[in-house]
């Protein structure tokens, strides 16, 4: 479909900066022109027009850490100590989760993401052949990286799932989907298995991927300060320094690794992340809510590490709202370091767009509004009291705009939401399904 | 007007807890019944009905620290060091603010507040007889405490303004408005003037107020750690301990004082706040954004101090969104103390409702849904992806709900917003006015 998004303020996050009264032209899913004035309108006369006057057009937001299926457990248990939360609440319920539940939970996340201007989601969960997150994303038209999470205790199942996931979904759904190998964490995946997962990643890349569309690694690193101790105890290994230093000693870190959290890092860890080109997914809302602490993002940025943003799951956030994550990220480091110049609005908007795309090695196609890239866009309505008056669009996008201000969303040129109505799925039906699915899950839990 | 809000989940924040499928009955601005079942519906048969099925009814939120007029400067300058921000940006622009600007800025805040479920706002700004915040609140039907901020450099003007404010507005607009005496801060109001303001408060209370509707004190205390030093330098005084200890040595603290921020407190300060019954307005978003730090709220709560929540102005937040403040308050202390049990969702919802009402000495009338109280209510639509599925209403209200989920708002029994449309003012017109007012302000600034 060919269309022109007309007359909006285009925040490109690319070389062209902000274009007021600008136009974005889309042909067959790609941005073919970005500019302003009568000339561009004449040139593409007859294209279907989306009126963006008084609105702000931004690259779709990139959520670099999710567990999409877990939206089904949103608000099930909060405010408990971490281990009590996991052992008494989350894990007992998760035992009863079926592949159907995974699919419904991921649908819910996909819908919520799009309604909040997020067009790409990097999700780690259990892959099941029938009923999975990939299917849900494809159904709704959301771009994403779908991973299968691996644990030492189920190597065989993992390897099978990884192969099926890659064969079934890498590069599928018009290229919207990619897959990843997801070692859960350094304390749940033993050193040998960690290396095996590297070998499997190589195998899957050779079979199913191309250099510009790789099978990624997605893992949790240093979410809490006790991880080094947990690794030592779990695998009877001895090492100095932090979790990244330990993983590097196994030779598994590289530029295809996206590391969620990175809260408790040693100075050596930061150096390793930089040298190996590991990308960090900063999840401030989740880290605060679970009492994990605060990632040293200013130090990471200073060291030159790519830092992107993530929501984490709706169990520990409890939303998929990247606007909220942007604001909390922008606020938190200023407050802790008593320095209001840290993480400027522009820097944070970059983290949620182009840096997110870089973190997923997808920046050739997404993360900014530039000719040649995929048309992944969100149109934000600025005619709202909390976005008035207007001095500075970037300030408003980070400090004042809300997920609900997103009016229209394109992914790969498809209008997946128009005037807050999803075009790809009946949202009311998703909510009904999710509620029923939750009820059945609670019934199974009660029956043991 | 008599009406019944029917079939919703009523989160009373009072003794009755949560009533599912409940009804709230309103006669002449007051709640006359709260309950459930056919009996109550029969008893009030014929009353105008607001259908609240699938929705959650909460007490209107209480914002205990604002500078309502300043929404006009939203996003004008961000991410600067505090003094550069004030001296090069905010103060030069504020010099050109007219009474008309104050009125328009306050209208914007009033509209945004109601659209986010906030029904009471405690605002500190410069009172001008013609064009002021009180007028704006009355026009929109918002409940509030309107203060005039006092500085040593303009005693005469202050005293005149305070008397006019109290005479003109205390108890006015059907009792929606009260007024306060607002010493700006301990470093801008000299010790003698501070005591004079106490005397004036006494005078105004005797003239215009009743014991259950007092003229309050609203001030900034210990927003940044350098305040004791600033006080010593400004007034050539010597004292030990923190700002509250200093103020107490002047004999000006009491249970009618609402102290915004309280970030940098000595142990003695906390003790004084408790003993004198001073109420704390916690403004986490603003404190983080300005790089001020984090208030020791868990210690304040442990000491038994009443802690309520505030947004601060849209210059340092940059919204009037109390849902956001609730979530940030709930998250922040968990993360900093690495303790996810701190500030539970319920505790935070109390801070935004009944504790806010207590902080303003208004809890006999507002802050919970109970028979005899004013009908200040917000009806929140829960049929949204980010509020699905539903395990726990309180969790969703604090961790997942958004200002934009508020559908209908009553203040004093008046339906001031219905299905997101304000009934008291044309919002589109307010936005136009605010934009034009901003343009004129910038022109005056450019002309010097």
Write the CATH number for B98. 3.20.20.140
Q: At what angle do helices A133-140 and A155-169 cross, to 10 degrees?
A: 20
Can you tell me the distance from the alpha carbon of A294 to that of B336, in angstroms, rounded to the nearest whole number? Answer: 8
pLDDT, position B433: 98
Task: Please name the residue of chain A whose CA is at the shortest distance from the CA of residue B321.
Answer: A386
Instruction: Return the structure tokens found at A168.
Output: 């079934």
Taking residues A379-399, report their average pLDDT.
98
| Helix/strand/coil for A419 | coil
| Sequence-separated (6 or more) residues with CB below 8 Å from residue A121 | A63, A66, A68, A109, A110, A113, A137, A142, A143, A144, A145, A320
- The residues pairing with A185 across neighbouring beta strands, listed in sequence order, are A220
Give which of B388, B393, B404, B445 to mutate to test A binding, by max A Cβ within 10 Å: B388
Task: Please name the residue of chain A whose CA is at the shortest distance from the CA of residue B83.
Answer: A340
Of A288, A338, A438, the CB nearest to B331: A288
Residue A2, pLDDT above cutoff 90: yes
Can you tell me the distance from the alpha carbon of B264 to that of B224, in angstroms, rounded to the nearest whole number? Answer: 6
Residue A122 lies in a domain: yes
Residue A420, pLDDT above cutoff 90: yes
The pLDDT mean for chain A works out to 97
Residue A364 lies in a domain: no
| Sequence-separated (6 or more) residues with CB below 8 Å from residue A275 | none
Residue A415 lies in a domain: yes
Residues B139, B207 within the same domain: yes
Backbone angles phi, psi at A9, to 5 degrees: -90, 115
Instruction: Return the structure tokens found at A266.
Output: 């040693």
Residue B322 lies in a domain: yes
Residue A251, pLDDT above cutoff 90: yes
Residues B19, B125 within the same domain: no
Residue with tokens 């350098």: B226
User: Chain B window 126-155: which residues touch A at a Cβ cutoff of 8 Å?
Assistant: none
Q: Give the pairing of strands A377-381 and A55-59.
A: antiparallel
Tens of pLDDT, residue by residue over A297-311, are 999 999 999 999 999
Closest-CA distance, A402 to chain B, in angstroms, reads 8
Can you tell me the distance from the alpha carbon of A312 to that of A310, in angstroms, rounded to the nearest whole number? Answer: 6
Residue A191, pLDDT above cutoff 90: yes
Confidence class for position A213, pLDDT limits 50, 70, 90: very high
Residues B352, B292 within the same domain: yes
- The residues pairing with B257 across neighbouring beta strands, listed in sequence order, are B217
A425 contacts chain B (CB < 8 A): no
Residues B74, B19 within the same domain: no
Residue B367 lies in a domain: no
Residue B445 lies in a domain: no
Residues A232, A286 within the same domain: yes
Tell me, rounded to whole angstroms, the distance of Cα B16 from its chain centroid.
25
Residues A46, A74 within the same domain: no
Closest-CA distance, B224 to chain A, in angstroms, reads 9
> Left, alpha or beta for B208 (phi > 0: left; psi -120 to 50: alpha)?
alpha
A437 contacts chain B (CB < 8 A): yes
Half-sphere exposure of residue B29, counting CA atoms within 13 Å on the CB side? Answer: 11
Give which of B110, B335, B336, B425 to mutate to test A binding, by max A Cβ within 10 Å: B335
Of B85, B288, B427, the CB nearest to A332: B288
B400 contacts chain A (CB < 8 A): yes
Residues A41, A148 within the same domain: no
Closest-CA distance, A195 to chain B, in angstroms, reads 32
Give which of B11, B56, B79 to mutate to test A binding, by max A Cβ within 10 Å: B79
Summary count for chain B: helices (H), strands (E): 17, 17
* Positions of chain B with pLDDT lower than 70, given as ranges: none
Residues A11, A74 within the same domain: no
Confidence class for position A173, pLDDT limits 50, 70, 90: very high
Residues A176, A310 within the same domain: yes
Residue A1, pLDDT above cutoff 90: no
Tens of pLDDT, residue by residue over A55-107, are 999 999 999 999 999 999 999 999 998 889 889 999 899 999 999 999 999 99
Can you tell me the distance from the alpha carbon of A446 to that of A265, in angstroms, rounded to the nearest whole number? Answer: 41
Closest-CA distance, A345 to chain B, in angstroms, reads 8
Residues A31, A105 within the same domain: no
How many domains would you assign to chain A? 2
Containing structural domain, residue A48:
3-59+374-422
Residues A204, A178 within the same domain: yes
pLDDT, position B341: 96
pLDDT, position A140: 98
Can you tell me the distance from the alpha carbon of B282 to that of B174, in angstroms, rounded to the nearest whole number? Answer: 29
Instruction: Return the structure tokens found at A215.
Output: 């099978």
Taking residues A360-387, report their average pLDDT.
98
Residue A432 lies in a domain: no
Taking residues A176-196, report their average pLDDT.
98
Residues A187, A175 within the same domain: yes
Domain boundary among B304, B325, B359: B359
Taking residues A1-23, report their average pLDDT.
96
Taking residues A313-340, report their average pLDDT.
97
Backbone angles phi, psi at B335, to 5 degrees: -65, -45
Instruction: Quickly list DSSP for A40-53.
Output: HHHHTTTSEEEE-T
Closest-CA distance, B417 to chain A, in angstroms, reads 14
Residue A123, pLDDT above cutoff 90: yes
Residue A407 lies in a domain: yes
Can you tell me the distance from the alpha carbon of B336 to that of A8, in angstroms, rounded to the nearest whole number? Answer: 41
Can you tell me the distance from the alpha carbon of B227 to that of B90, in angstroms, rounded to the nearest whole number? Answer: 20
For position A380, which CATH number holds? Answer: 2.30.40.10
pLDDT, position A82: 80
Q: How many CB atoms lie within 10 A of CB B304?
A: 11
Task: Please name the residue of chain B whose CA is at the shortest distance from the CA of residue A393.
Answer: B75
């Amino acid at each position: 479909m060919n269309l022109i998004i007309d007359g909006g303020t285009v925040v490109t996050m690319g070389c062209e900066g902000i274009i007021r009264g600008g136009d974005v032209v889309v042909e067959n899913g790609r941005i073919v022109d970005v500019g302003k004035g009568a000339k561009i309108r004449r040139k593409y006369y007859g294209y279907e027009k989306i009126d963006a006057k008084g609105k702000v057009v931004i690259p779709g937001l990139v959520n670099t850490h999710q567990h999409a299926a877990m939206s089904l457990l949103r608000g099930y248990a909060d405010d408990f100590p971490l281990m009590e939360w996991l052992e008494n609440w989350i894990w007992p319920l998760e035992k009863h989760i079926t592949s159907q539940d995974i699919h419904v939970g991921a649908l819910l996340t996909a819908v919520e993401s799009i309604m909040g201007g997020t067009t790409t989601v990097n999700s780690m969960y259990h892959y099941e052949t029938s009923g999975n997150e990939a299917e849900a994303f494809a159904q709704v038209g959301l771009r994403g990286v779908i991973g299968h999470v691996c644990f030492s205790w189920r190597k065989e199942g993992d390897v099978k799932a990884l192969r099926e996931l890659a064969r079934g979904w890498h590069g599928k759904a018009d290229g919207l989907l990619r897959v990843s190998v997801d070692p859960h964490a350094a304390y749940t995946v033993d050193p040998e298995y960690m290396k095996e997962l590297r070998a499997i990643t190589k195998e899957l890349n050779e079979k199913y991927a191309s250099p510009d569309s790789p099978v990624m690694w997605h893992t949790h690193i240093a979410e809490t300060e006790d991880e080094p101790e947990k690794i030592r105890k779990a695998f009877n290994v001895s090492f100095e320094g932090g979790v990244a230093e330990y993983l590097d000693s196994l030779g598994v870190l590289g530029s295809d690794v996206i590391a969620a959290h990175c809260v408790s890092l040693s100075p050596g860890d930061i150096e390793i992340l930089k040298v190996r080109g590991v990308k960090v997914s900063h999840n401030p809302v989740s880290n605060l809510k679970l009492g994990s602490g605060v990632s040293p993002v200013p130090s990471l940025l200073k060291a030159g590490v790519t830092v992107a943003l993530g929501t984490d799951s709706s169990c520990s956030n409890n939303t998929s709202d990247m606007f909220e994550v942007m604001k909390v990220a922008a606020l938190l480091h200023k407050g802790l370091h008593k320095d209001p110049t840290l993480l400027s609005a522009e820097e944070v908007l970059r983290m949620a767009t182009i840096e997110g795309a870089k973190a997923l090695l997808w920046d050739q196609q997404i993360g900014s509004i530039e000719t040649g890239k995929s048309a992944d866009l969100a149109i934000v309505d600025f005619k709202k009291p909390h976005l008035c008056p207007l001095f500075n669009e970037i300030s408003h996008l980070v400090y004042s705009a809300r997920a609900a201000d997103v009016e229209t969303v394109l992914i790969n040129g498809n209008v997946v939401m128009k005037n807050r109505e999803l075009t790809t799925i009946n949202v009311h039906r998703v909510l009904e399904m999710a509620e029923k699915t939750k009820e059945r899950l609670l019934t199974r839990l009660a029956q043991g």
